[in-house]
Amino acid sequence: MLLKLCEWLQDTGFSTGIRESVWTFPIIETVHLLALAFSVGIIVLVDLRLIGWTLRDRPVSEVFSKLQPMAVKGFGINVLSGLLLFASEPVKCYHSTYFLIKCILLVFLALNAWGFDRFTYPSVAGWDKAVAMPVGAKLAGWVSLWFWLGVIVMGRAIAYAGK
Amino acid sequence: MFPVLTPLFRWADASWLSLEIRSSTWQFAILEMVHLLGLTVLLGALMVLDLRLFGFGMRKQPVSQLAKDLAVWTRIGLVTILGSGVLLFFGEPMKLFGSPSFHVKMLLLFLAIVFQFTLFRKVTLDDNASPGLDRVAGVLSLCLWFGVGLAGRAIGFL
């Protein structure tokens, strides 16, 4: 069923167009890569603040309110370019274990962000300027750091699928 | 590139390290992954500082303080990306020897590093620098480093 859908998508003119043009695929891939600086690059700094490794003299809420909107915009570029890359070779992605792992990691990252937002961040006033971060914040930061690392590694590995 | 460097590429190509890296697909792939992680940390930290020079983001903090706070992560990113970059070079020296993208990348990298540790450093550590100068430094930093990234990605395509 899912494979059929991928095959159908792969045969559309849109997908073939990206795949077979000389420049479209490389350009989208380059955008996808360089947008890492704005998405994961900034998320990493927020995570490092959560585990207490950087910007320690700034309140957590300040780091969040200033950097989160940028990271979200950067991530938007990654999602959009990522969807276009997927659309250009859905059957390859369907058969790629790395792509599957990357998607699963992204789901866990979404859950991690949601959990942090729902359960830990509401009490930020109590530890905004604390020297030691609460366990919930540290956990969310570490999970995010390691899972994003996994996403980048798996993303690169997709290109090696079948080699 | 400079003809004088030809022996360097030949030497690298025949070296034990080069043979070792080329002996399996995954060694090169893993180096590429590390290179990407370095890019994420380096460019992420630089972006936050560059955007601050434009007046976006961490505005409550003086530029000099932010620059000092982020310096350690810029350096970790730089060391990671340069270390993996040198090893990637050993993985395919002769291909890079003939790659215009690689030549452009090395030129931009040289300019970016020189700029980073001279003018950019001076401007970011001086909180009395004019907003105009701040912006020029931010634009140059963005253009140089993204130029390095762009030329780097182009090695695989051109």
List per-residue pLDDT tens for chain B, 158 residues long.
677 889 999 999 999 999 999 998 889 999 999 999 999 999 999 999 999 999 999 999 999 999 999 999 999 999 999 999 999 999 999 999 999 999 999 999 999 999 999 999 999 999 998 999 999 999 999 999 999 999 999 998 87
Q: What is the pLDDT of residue A131?
A: 83
Q: What is the pLDDT of residue A160?
A: 85
Identify whether the C-beta of residue B151 lies closer than 8 Å to the C-beta of residue B101: yes
Q: Residue B89: which residues within 8 A CB-CB, separation 6 or more? A: B12, B96
Q: In Å, what is the CA distance from B98 to each residue of A58, B21, B94?
A: 48, 20, 7
At residue B6, φ and ψ (nearest 5 deg) are -50, -45
Q: Determine, for residues A157 and B33 on separate chains, whether the beta-carbon distance falls below 8 Å.
A: yes
pLDDT of residue B1: 63
**Does the CB of A85 have a partner CB in chain B at under 8 Å?**
no
On the question of pLDDT at A68 being above 70, the answer is yes
CB of A38 within 8 Å of any CB in chain B?
A: yes
Q: Residue B87's Cα: distance from chain center in Å?
A: 15
Q: What is the pTM of this model?
A: 0.94
Whether the CB-CB separation of A148 and A44 falls below 8 Å is answered with: yes
Is the Cα torsion angle B17, B105, B38, B29 positive or negative in sign?
A: negative
- Give the three-class secondary structure for A162: coil
Cα A82 from Cα A76, distance rounded (Å): 10
Cα separation, A80 vs A83, whole angstroms = 5
Task: Name chain B contacts of A48, Cβ cutoff 8 Å.
Answer: 73
pLDDT of res. B25: 85
Q: At A11, is the secondary structure helix, strand, or coil?
A: helix
Q: Are A157 and A92 within 8 A, CB to CB?
A: no
* Residue B10 to chain A, least CA–CA distance (Å): 28
Measured between CA atoms, how close is B25 to chain A, in angstroms? 8
Residue B31 near residue B87 (C-beta atoms within 8 A): yes
A130 falls in which pLDDT band (50, 70, 90)?
confident
Q: Which is more confidently placed, A60 or A1?
A: A60
The answer to whether B37 faces chain A, any CB pair under 8 Å, is: yes
Which residues on chain A are in Cβ contact (under 8 Å) with B149? 33-34, 37
**Residues A123, A71: Cα–Cα separation, whole Å:** 22
Cβ within 8 Å, pair B153-A33: yes
B38 to chain A: nearest residue by CA?
A41
* CA nearest neighbour of A17 among A9, B156, A160, A91: A9
pLDDT tens figures, A14-66: 999 999 888 999 999 999 999 999 999 999 999 999 999 999 999 999 999 99
Per the CB < 8 Å rule, is A58 touching B60?
Answer: yes
- State residue B4's pLDDT score: 85
Q: What is the DSSP letter of A133?
A: P
Put simply, the chain A residues between 44 and 73 with a CB less than 8 A from any chain B CB are: 44-45, 48, 54-55, 57-58, 62-63, 66-67, 70
pLDDT above 70 coverage of chain A, percent = 98
Cα B66 to its chain centre, rounded Å, is: 20
Among the partner residues B32, B46, B73, nearest to A54 by beta-carbon distance:
B73
> Can you give the pLDDT at residue A162?
56
pLDDT of residue A1: 87
Of all residues in chain B, the one with the smallest CA distance to A41 is B44
- Any chain A CB within 8 A of the CB of B25? yes
Mean pLDDT rounded to a whole number for chain A: 94
Residue A43's pLDDT is 97
Whether the pLDDT of residue A163 is over 60: the answer is: no
Residues of B in contact with A45 (CB under 8 A): 44-45, 48, 70, 73
